[in-house]
Amino acid sequence: MSLPTVSNVPSPARSSANVIRLGQVSVRYRLPHERYATLKEHTIRWLQRRVQYDDFWALKDVDVDIAQGQVLGIIGRNGAGKSTLLKVISRVLRPTRGHVWVRGRVAPLLEFGAGFHPELTGRENVFLNGAILGFSHAEMERKFQRIVDFAELGDFIDAPLRTYSSGMVARLGFAVATDVEPNVLIVDEVLSVGDPAFQRKSIERIQSFRAAGTTILLVTHSLETVQRMCDRVIWLDHGVVVADGMAETVVQEYRNQMVGSESIRLAKAVGPTESQRWGDRQVEIIQVRLLDGQGEEQTVFETGDSLVVQMDYETNTPVPSPVFGIGIHRHDGLHISGPNTDFAGLELPELKGTGCVTFRVPNLPLLDGLYYISVAVHPKDGLVMHDFHDRAYTFRVINVNGKVKEQYGLFSLGGTWKHTPSWSAPSTALEAPGSSRNGLHV
């Protein structure tokens, strides 16, 4: 077994263009097999050599070279080893096995507010955090006003940190950590904090580092951000690099895997529990299927896809002209729509035996999110319920490769934009119909 190595001196075997090299890096965490109620109990067991551990490998034989000026995105599910990898490169964590070479100054943005003390003022925390990052008091004096101006804290800089909002702490932490000229900038899920104006400001500063030739390592769950900002992407899964290449290619592979996993997960959750179902069961909805435009069962759709809700029923007694309907709710409980056969003017005959009722949406207008479908059948007067399945069927809408540009609200209206300059004749007016997918303007 080779001894773990972390060094800021280039390896003779590496290319001069590389600023980071990881050679067969593995990180093991040892987790106690049992939980102990007190430290005393744990100590006694440890002295008796009765403490058993389970080994968890957060990284397994990661072998990666990163060139100067490269913007590298690291993607993967929670627990894939992304943050552990960044901690190893940042020298916060030593690998269990393997070698790490890093050349130049590293500025890690692993967690805003790390190294801050809540009882100290913002001013005192700036100098404290600067010392942790390796800066002298004189250097922090020169940086101080720039940091305060960027953080936009004003008079709050002399207030205790415990009086700050989370957004204020985030602004101060980002301002301190990025007021450097690093060779390597490490960003771990910090672009999603703060208000939109602060997020834009943070991205602008990171882009300025990129323009200056800084090597940037970025971890974020926003695949759109990864595609927009990164030249190269590494996909980690259970500590192993499963893909490494151009951003668009690797992100698409990751999306395809996510869609497959999500489809399987949602398909397993189909059907009402006892608490989700009620009615006199004169008509029973015995099966509900969500289909795509080709009639295939599907639980993951894109905005603009066809969605078909198919309800198979069985009658226990002849039922005159019942009404079938569905309800769509967003994951937070917001009721979006509630169409039924009566609203649509579809008069059903007296039902006997078995049959099928379908509801088709030719162009699904819903934007990215998780949604629940309820189904129901009841008499026309609505005084009783024959069968009701409350939010028992789940589907997800995704936005692949940014095909749908809209991000806000529930759905796309499918409208068009038009601009007519006051000095221009109507024939020269500019009209933007938007991009179209399956007939849906977005």
pLDDT in tens, 213-267: 899 999 888 888 888 889 899 999 999 999 999 998 998 888 888 877 877 777 7
- The answer to pTM > 0.85 is no
What whole-number distance in Å separates Cα of residue 210 and Cα of residue 85?
A: 21
Closest CA to 308 of 285, 322, 288: 288
Instruction: Count CA atoms closer than 13 A to 4's CA, side-chain side.
Output: 15
Residue 133's identity, in one-letter code, is L
What gap in Å lies between CA 361 and CA 399, rounded to an integer?
A: 18
Query: Strand, coil or helix: what is 207?
Result: helix
Which pLDDT score is estimated for 434?
A: 52
Structure tokens at 3: 């001894």
| 226-251 as b/e: b if 16+ CB within 10 A | bbebbebbbbbbebebebeeebeebb
Residue pLDDT, tens place only, 355-378: 999 999 999 999 988 999 999 999
Identify the structural domains of the chain with CATH numbers, from first to last.
274-399 (2.70.50.60), 402-441 (no CATH)
| Sign of the dihedral defined by the CA atoms of residues 288, 291, 297, 300, in that order | negative
What's the per-residue H, E or C state across 176-217?
HHHCCCCCEEEEECCCCCCCHHHHHHHHHHHHHHHHCCCEEE
Joined together, the tokens standing for residue 369 give: 């999110």
Q: How far is it, in rounded angstroms, from Cα 363 to Cα 431?
A: 23
- Residue 207 has what pLDDT? 84
- CA dihedral for 43, 48, 50, 54, sign (positive or negative): positive
Q: Going residue by residue through the chain (442 aa), what tens digit of pLDDT does each one get? A: 344 444 443 333 444 578 999 999 999 987 766 666 677 766 766 676 766 677 889 999 999 999 988 999 999 988 899 989 998 998 888 999 999 999 888 877 766 666 788 899 999 999 988 887 778 899 999 999 999 988 888 889 999 999 988 778 878 888 887 887 788 888 876 666 566 777 778 788 888 888 888 999 998 888 888 888 898 999 999 999 999 999 989 988 888 888 778 777 777 777 888 889 999 999 999 999 999 989 999 999 989 899 999 999 999 999 999 999 999 999 989 999 999 999 999 999 999 999 999 999 999 999 988 999 999 999 998 889 999 999 999 999 987 655 677 777 888 887 888 888 887 555 555 555 554 444 444 3
